[in-house]
A and B are shown apart, each in its own frame.
Chain A
Amino acid sequence: MWRFADAVAGQGAVSVPDAHGHFGDYGGSYVSETLMTALQELTGQYQRWRHDPGFMAEFARDLKHYVGRPSPIYVAERLTEHVGGARILLKREDLNHTGAHKINNTVGQALLAKYAGKQRVIAETGAGQHGVASATVAARLGMKCVVYMGEVDIQRQSINVFRMRLLGAEVRSVDSGSKTLKDAMNEALRDWITNVDDTFYIIGTVAGPHPYPMLVRDFNSVVGREAREQMLSDHGCLPDALVACVGGGSNALGLFHAFVNDKDVDIYGVEAGGDGIESGQHAASLVGGRPGVLHGSKTYLLDNDDGQITETHSISAGLDYPGVGPEHAWLKDSGRASYVSVTDTETMTAFHQLTRLEGILPALESAHAIAYGMRLAATMRPDQTVLINLSGRGDKDVQTVATLEGIKL
């Protein structure tokens, strides 16, 4: 069997990441010494528990009965007909408890926190989906939860802020830097440096220092494993292409991971093109950025010629991040996955089309994937299939959409 890992290594099987968290040239643990012991302990614990039948059974039980898995694959017939190309299928992560794929990871990390005996969890959030998912699992396990969120994001995602507070979490506003997701992550790292003994940091995406990119990928990889089985059992074939939006990249890796060795399946990650790559107003690190070091790992990022991280722009708070998970950087350089971008305008069109044609209101993040998925499907034959990860539902974005379109609610 052709194995991607072998092809990249040019020799025997390698596993990614390596023992120090490197995906080829990317990843690693570029953090202050204060965090190194905590990261190494977490790596050790995770390596032990991922092979522990009790831990894995508890995780599987939670995914089934609390998250509501498996999520269905839905054939978007009217959208397919509208596009007039390949058949469009949607992996319905929007139907999960709390409304997005984020809960898969937080359930997993909360279990790690529980097994590690930590009573306090912290999280960063952009759109608020990861914050809500973290507050949710913390409430369920009776843990104290602090969520860091940029001041700008608090404004544009007020519904999610209220949801977190209802769940008992403390939402701390971050007013440094660009006041968005990257600054929230800085602040969460600072909290962790300070409270490392009793605090578990639930990182919301496949970024950050080792072991987070691996661990978050693994907890989300249920999406792709399920999808692969569902495709084979319900549709009798694998999809010809996978499409998912990429901010940090957790829903995308969650879907892609199980298909990486299926060489006939094309993989597309869709970044936030904002006003267009050439405008400079975007959040497309892989398409418009270059390798550097941010938030503990070496990866593609957006910075100026002095190496200062630049402010990003996206209609969607969840994609408004200047870095990306290191495994995506590696998949890009190796050519196994293609990374593209769509603009805010294309995203809004797709948002309305999916809503009107299928009665599904997507998150603005996921609407990026819908937009590119439609564009791609139009270039393909009707006997082919495109599987899009519908990573979250759009209820949280209703206010944003109304404001953008000048509608007063």
Chain B
Amino acid sequence: MNRIDHVFARAREQGRKLLIPYITAGDGGAGFSGQVLQALVAHGADIIELGMPFSDPMADGPVIQKACERALAAGMNLHGVLDLVRQFRRSDQRTPLVLMGYLNPIWRYGLQAFATDAATAGVDALLIVDAPPEESADIHAVLQPLDLHQIMLAAPTSSDQRLQLISGVAGGFVYYVALKGVTGAASLDGAAMAAPVARLRRYTSLPIAVGFGIKNAADAAAVAEHADAVVIGSALVQALAECQQQQVDAVAVVADFMGPLRAALDQYSKVTAAMS
């Protein structure tokens, strides 16, 4: 069973809301990313999205653009991303990993080769930002036999017809983009998530994660009232960027960052994180 399905099934039993942090692989160097991954799990991450840096991340805001630039300057590439995954899996067989990025680097590696290597390394899903359902037939055909999910985005602009199309391709969970905007864009209204999440549930029985524009524990709590999982990216990447500059211990930064988020989500759990 894919780790993602397992984690969501267990969360459903426990009434637990999942926390999905995002980091850009190689931002701060591969060693730094390795440390951060472990610290994220230690401080309450249920699933991790690992960004595959790309030179032209057209759906990302300035924070993740800069993280991509730093990671690429530090020599990160898809081989390096898979190395990070393998290294992580030596000590963690349980936490699902989603690789998030853009199509061209995957294409250059070779879609089939990359998917095979990713599955072997211990990746659970791919989220390819610039592959909407219309362009996903080839990808789907390659991922499915490997038990890799394709995480699909749904947006406020997606019509009912498109939601149906998306749910036909999606595996693992559906990632609802809370804002019309790029990653890290301004202020999300958590309360306003009720209607769109309910609409999305009419088309999919998969769990729903909400991301884009969630900056702090209050945002996360508001979103978790409606969604099954909360994705937090740019705010974490920003905190890690500052910690690189100031040479503060990454583990401490992750602990400070994740603590309030975890607590906020656990308000909605029937059992607390401590008991799980």
B135 adjacent to A28 (CB under 8 Å): yes
Q: Which of A30-38, A65-73, A85-93 contacts B (4 or more CB under 8 A)?
A: A30-38
Contact among A29, A186, A196, A293 for B132, CB-based, below 8 A: A29
B107 adjacent to A293 (CB under 8 Å): yes
A292 adjacent to B182 (CB under 8 Å): no
Whole-angstrom distance from the CB of A189 to the nearest CB of chain B? 5
B185 adjacent to A295 (CB under 8 Å): no
Query: How far is B46's CA from A399's CA once the two chains are assembled, in angstroms?
Result: 57
Given contacts A34-B59, A177-B56, A308-B72, contact A292 B135 (CB under 8 A): no
| B109: Cβ under 8 A from any A Cβ | yes
Q: Which residues of A contact B65 (CB under 8 A)?
A: 176
B59 adjacent to A307 (CB under 8 Å): no
| B35: Cβ under 8 A from any A Cβ | no
A36 adjacent to B177 (CB under 8 Å): no
A309 adjacent to B55 (CB under 8 Å): yes
Given contacts A28-B135, A33-B177, A308-B105, contact A296 B55 (CB under 8 A): no
Q: Which residues of A contact B30 (CB under 8 A)?
A: none
Chain B's closest residue to A290 (CB) is B108
Contact among A37, A190, A301 for B182, CB-based, below 8 A: A190
Q: Which residues of A contact B177 (CB under 8 A)?
A: 32-34
Q: Which of B3-11, B14-22, B157-165, B245-253 contacts A (4 or more CB under 8 A)?
A: B157-165
Q: Which of B148-156, B218-226, B236-244, B260-268 contacts A (4 or more CB under 8 A)?
A: B148-156
Given contacts A186-B56, A308-B55, contact A36 B132 (CB under 8 A): yes
Given contacts A34-B157, A36-B157, contact A307 B106 (CB under 8 A): yes
Chain B's closest residue to A194 (CB) is B181
Contacts of A283-333 to chain B: CB distance below 8 A: 292-296, 301, 303, 305-309
Query: How far is B60's CA from A182's CA once the two chains are assembled, in angstroms?
Result: 15
A36 adjacent to B162 (CB under 8 Å): yes
Whole-angstrom distance from the CB of A72 to the nearest CB of chain B? 40
B58 adjacent to A307 (CB under 8 Å): no
Q: Which residues of B contact A308 (CB under 8 A)?
A: 54-55, 72, 77, 104-105
| A193: Cβ under 8 A from any B Cβ | yes
| A197: Cβ under 8 A from any B Cβ | yes
Chain A's closest residue to B152 (CB) is A33
| A20: Cβ under 8 A from any B Cβ | yes
Q: Which residues of B contact A35 (CB under 8 A)?
A: 157
Q: Which residues of B contact A190 (CB under 8 A)?
A: 58-61, 182
Contact among B55, B60, B131, B158 for A30, CB-based, below 8 A: B131
Contact among A28, A194, A306 for B78, CB-based, below 8 A: A306
A295 adjacent to B158 (CB under 8 Å): no
B78 adjacent to A309 (CB under 8 Å): no
Whole-angstrom distance from the CB of A308 to the nearest CB of chain B? 4
B166 adjacent to A292 (CB under 8 Å): no
B153 adjacent to A32 (CB under 8 Å): yes
| B42: Cβ under 8 A from any A Cβ | no
Contact among B130, B154, B159, B185 for A296, CB-based, below 8 A: B130
Query: How far is B55's CA from A183's CA once the two chains are assembled, in angstroms?
Result: 10
| B103: Cβ under 8 A from any A Cβ | yes
Contact among A29, A31, A32, A292 for B104, CB-based, below 8 A: A292
Q: Which residues of A contact B134 (CB under 8 A)?
A: 20, 28-29, 36
Contacts of A165-215 to chain B: CB distance below 8 A: 176-177, 182-183, 186, 189-190, 193-197
The size of the chain A interface, using a CB distance under 8 A, is 36
Query: How far is B242's CA from A147's CA once the two chains are assembled, in angstroms?
Result: 32
Query: How far is B106's CA from A22's CA once the two chains are assembled, in angstroms?
Result: 20
Contact with B along A196-236 (1 / 0, CB 8 A): 11000000000000000000000000000000000000000
Query: How far is B56's CA from A308's CA once the two chains are assembled, in angstroms?
Result: 8
Given contacts A29-B134, A31-B130, A31-B132, contact A196 B107 (CB under 8 A): no
Chain A's closest residue to B165 (CB) is A36
| B94: Cβ under 8 A from any A Cβ | no
Interface centre among A35, A293, A294 (most CB of B within 10 A): A293
| B199: Cβ under 8 A from any A Cβ | no
B157 adjacent to A38 (CB under 8 Å): yes
Query: How far is B158's CA from A38's CA once the two chains are assembled, in angstroms?
Result: 9
Given contacts A307-B108, A309-B55, contact A194 B182 (CB under 8 A): yes
Chain B's closest residue to A182 (CB) is B56
Given contacts A34-B59, A36-B157, A186-B56, contact A193 B135 (CB under 8 A): no
Given contacts A176-B65, A190-B182, A296-B130, contact A32 B107 (CB under 8 A): no
Contacts of A127-185 to chain B: CB distance below 8 A: 176-177, 182-183
Contacts of B152-209 to chain A: CB distance below 8 A: 152-159, 162, 166, 177, 180-182, 185
B162 adjacent to A186 (CB under 8 Å): no
Q: Which residues of B contact A296 (CB under 8 A)?
A: 130
Interface centre among B56, B130, B131, B159 (most CB of A within 10 A): B56
Contact among B54, B105, B166 for A33, CB-based, below 8 A: B166
Q: Which residues of A contact B60 (CB under 8 A)?
A: 190
Q: Which residues of A contact B56 (CB under 8 A)?
A: 177, 182-183, 186, 294-295, 309
A33 adjacent to B58 (CB under 8 Å): no
Query: How far is B62's CA from A196's CA once the two chains are assembled, in angstroms?
Result: 19
Whole-angstrom distance from the CB of A22 to the nearest CB of chain B? 10
Chain A's closest residue to B177 (CB) is A34
Q: Which residues of A contact B142 (CB under 8 A)?
A: none
A34 adjacent to B180 (CB under 8 Å): yes
Name 6 interchain pairs, CB-CB below 8 A, sorted by A.
A32-B132, A37-B155, A186-B57, A190-B58, A194-B181, A292-B108
Q: A186-B57, A308-B105 are in contact. List 20 more A-B contacts (CB 8 A).
A: A29-B132, A31-B130, A32-B155, A32-B177, A34-B177, A37-B155, A177-B55, A182-B56, A190-B60, A195-B180, A293-B103, A301-B104, A303-B104, A306-B108, A307-B108, A307-B109, A308-B104, A309-B55, A309-B56, A309-B104
Q: What 8 A-B pairs are tightest by C-beta distance, nearest first?
A: A307-B108, A307-B105, A306-B77, A32-B59, A34-B155, A33-B153, A308-B55, A194-B181
